[in-house]
Amino acid sequence: MNAPIQTMAQRIAAAAGELGMKRTGLMPTGVSVVQSGGTLVITLHGALSAAELALAKTAEGALKVQEFHRELFMSNAAALRAEIERITGVEVREATAEVEPSTGTVVAVFATGTIVQVFLLKSAISADSWNRRAADGPN
C-alpha cells in the first residue's frame, strides 16, 4: 500500500504528535506546523494532562510544569530534530521549548495545554518545496 501524499508540514505534524505521545503518553488534540525564513514552529494543542493543568494554576506548580516540560523536551529533542531533518532535508541549527504557564502566552506550554516548539533551521525552505506533496523524505 502506498503512503499518503502529504506536505512537509503534515509529515512534521504527524511526527511531532507521535513523538509527543511516546514522550508523555498523551496524544495532542491537534498539531500546527508553520515555517518561514528558516524558523519552524510546532504547536501541540491539548498536550498537558489534567493534573498538569491543575498544577499550573499556582505559581509554584507552574514552575514545576515549566521545568518538567523543559527537561522533557531537552531529553527528547534529538528524535524530533532527526525527523525534521529527514523530512525537510535541512539541518536544524537550534531547538527550544520554553514554558511560561503562568501567563499562558509565551512559547511552549500555555494555560490551555498548548505546547509550542521552535526550531531554527540552517537555511530557509522555499514555499514551493514546503507546499509540494510527497510520500516521504525531502522534496
**74-131 pLDDT tens trace:** 888 899 999 999 999 999 888 877 655 543 323 444 445 666 667 767 887 887 888 8
Residue 90 lies in a domain: yes
Contact 55, 61 (CB under 8 A): yes
Whole-number Å distance between alpha carbons of 99 and 102: 9
pTM for this entry? 0.73
Specify if 95 maps to a domain. yes
33 in any annotated domain: yes
Model confidence pLDDT, tens digit, residues 37-82: 788 888 887 888 888 888 888 889 888 988 888 888 888 889 999 9
Following CA atoms 21, 53, 35, 23 in sequence, which dihedral angle do they give, to the nearest 10 degrees? Answer: -20
Residues of the domain holding 34? 8-123
- Helices 59-88 and 8-24 cross at an angle (nearest 10°) of 140
Residue 34 lies inside a defined structural domain of this protein:
yes
The predicted pLDDT at position 32 comes to: 84
How many residues make up the chain in this entry? 139
Whichever domain contains 78, its CATH number is 3.30.980
In a domain, 134, yes or no: no
Task: Specify if 13 maps to a domain.
Answer: yes
Has residue 54 been placed in a domain? yes
